[in-house]
């Protein structure tokens, strides 16, 4: 499996002619490129753009990120999910600041040593920002190369990923004159990603007629673009039924902080319990905390899907005469300022619209 020199050049040319105008492509700043790469993991480009601009404007330098209070940081990330990403970014920023650096190092090996930076991020930042010829194999790149070489194996396997990385490394090693130009390396990495996003697409039929590799692609030649890549079925997610209580009185609304470790660590949430409770069961449950419901309204049921589990949410908006001091709650006026995970943020919006009316 080798990428021919002509194919590498065709990809870079295609990228230069077709790349989307994205905010992180207007900069050479490794810090900004790093932010975009972390945000783009697990999140669509369309969603990332606004988050990226907001985050970059709020924290324009590595030092700003290192110094940012946790609540503000989580608020900036609110809705993007996978919050360990931004916590690890801050750990990394603090580590670099403690070692007297004001930006990321121009070295794949040094990047790889930093907290929260694995081979993919190290490859992406070093190749895109610094033109260092290292592979960055994400889902888009796996799909494109699996089709180019008609790879039949499971693209979830580590062996296939390694093979793709080796293929890119060989392409770089075989073309030192091209790699001497840092913009070639940067465009090659981004070209692979962009081809996967725009042409060799994950859902639907790939646009082979527009592809710079259309004449050399083995999956296309074998009429196998709909069966390649092969991806084994993922494990079934555990479903957890939960009842959530959004309780407010004239002054406060129930909100508590999640533990410092584990899923959605350190974010705020509404109190909840496992299982689905009807209105009567919910009243009794709340009374155990000293809350007497004056009015209860069922909000829309939702399922929130995580990587390994699903929260099956039943939600009660509860007007109470009084929330006891022993129950974690925040002033109603400050309610919008807290960072809530996406699973609860929709309910915050629903609650706010109703509480204002009351």
Residues marked active site are found at 37
Q: Measured from the CB atom, is 5 or 72 closer to ligand SF4?
A: 5
Q: Is 198 in the site for ligand SF4 (CB under 6 A)?
A: no
Q: Find the part of the chain contacting ligand SF4 (CB under 6 A) among 87-95, 143-151, 176-184, 266-274.
A: 143-151
Q: What are phi and psi of 283, to 5 degrees?
A: -55, -45
Nearer to ligand SF4, 209 or 233 (CB): 209
Query: Two tokens at 33?
Result: 């490129």
> CA 123, 124, 127, 129 torsion: positive or negative?
negative
- The minimum distance between CB 199 and ligand SF4, in angstroms, equals 5
Give the residue with the Cβ less far from ligand SF4, 152 or 292. 152
Q: Which of 93, 144, 193, 246 binds ligand SF4 (CB under 6 A)?
A: 144
Task: State how beta strands 272-274 and 238-248 pair.
Answer: antiparallel
Total residues interacting with ligand SF4, rule: CB under 6 A: 15
Q: CB-based contacts of 119: which residues, under 8 Å, 6+ apart?
A: 112, 165
Residue 165 and residue 113 in contact, taking contact as beta carbons nearer than 8 Å: no
Q: Which of residues 208-227 bind ligand SF4 (CB under 6 A)?
A: 208, 211, 213-214, 217, 219-220, 225
User: Which listed range, 35-43, 158-166, 199-207, 267-275, lies at the site for ligand SF4 (CB under 6 A)?
Assistant: 199-207
Computed on alpha carbons and rounded to an integer, the radius of gyration of the chain in Å comes to: 24
3-class DSSP state of 233: coil
Q: Taking contact as CB under 6 A, which single stretch among the options 43-51, 56-64, 204-212, 320-328 is the one that binds ligand SF4?
A: 204-212
DSSP string, 114-167: STT--HHHHHHHHHHHH--------HHHHHHHHHHTT--SBTTSHHHHHHHHHH
Binding footprint of ligand SF4 on the chain (CB under 6 A) = 144, 147-148, 199-200, 206-208, 211, 213-214, 217, 219-220, 225
């Amino acid at each position: 499996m080798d990428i021919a020199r002509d194919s590498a050049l065709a990809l870079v040319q295609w990228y230069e002619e077709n790349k989307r105008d994205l905010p992180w492509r207007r900069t050479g700043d490794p810090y900004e490129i790093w932010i975009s790469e972390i945000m783009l993991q697990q999140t669509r480009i369309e969603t990332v753009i606004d988050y990226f601009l907001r985050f970059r404007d709020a924290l324009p330098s590595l030092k700003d990120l290192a110094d940012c209070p946790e609540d503000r940081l989580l608020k900036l990330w609110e809705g993007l999910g996978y919050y360990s990403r931004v916590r690890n970014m801050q750990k990394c920023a603090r580590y670099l600041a403690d070692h007297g650096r004001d930006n990321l190092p121009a070295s794949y090996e040094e990047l790889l040593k930093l907290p929260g930076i694995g081979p993919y991020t190290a490859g992406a930042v070093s190749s895109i920002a610094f033109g260092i010829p290292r592979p960055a194999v994400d889902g888009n790149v796996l799909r494109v190369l699996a089709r180019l070489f008609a790879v039949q194996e499971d693209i979830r396997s580590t062996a296939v990923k390694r093979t793709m990385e080796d293929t890119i490394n060989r392409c770089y090693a075989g073309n030192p004159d091209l790699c001497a130009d840092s913009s070639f390396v940067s465009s090659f990495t981004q070209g692979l990603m962009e081809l996967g996003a725009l042409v060799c697409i994950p859902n639907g039929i790939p646009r082979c007629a527009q592809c710079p590799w259309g004449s050399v692609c083995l999956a296309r030649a074998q009429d196998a673009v709909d069966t390649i890549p092969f991806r084994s079925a993922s494990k079934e997610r555990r479903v957890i039924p939960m009842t959530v209580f959004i309780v407010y009185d004239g002054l406060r609304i129930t909100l508590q902080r999640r533990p410092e470790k584990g899923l959605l660590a350190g974010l705020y949430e509404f109190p909840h319990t496992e299982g689905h409770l009807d209105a009567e069961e919910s009243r009794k449950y709340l009374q155990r905390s000293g809350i007497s419901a004056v009015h209860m309204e069922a909000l829309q049921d939702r399922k929130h899907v995580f990587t390994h589990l699903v929260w099956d949410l039943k939600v009660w908006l509860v007007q109470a005469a009084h929330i006891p001091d022993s129950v974690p709650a925040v002033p109603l006026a400050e309610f919008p300022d807290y960072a809530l995970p996406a699973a609860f943020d929709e309910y915050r919006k629903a609650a706010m619209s109703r509480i204002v009316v009351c």
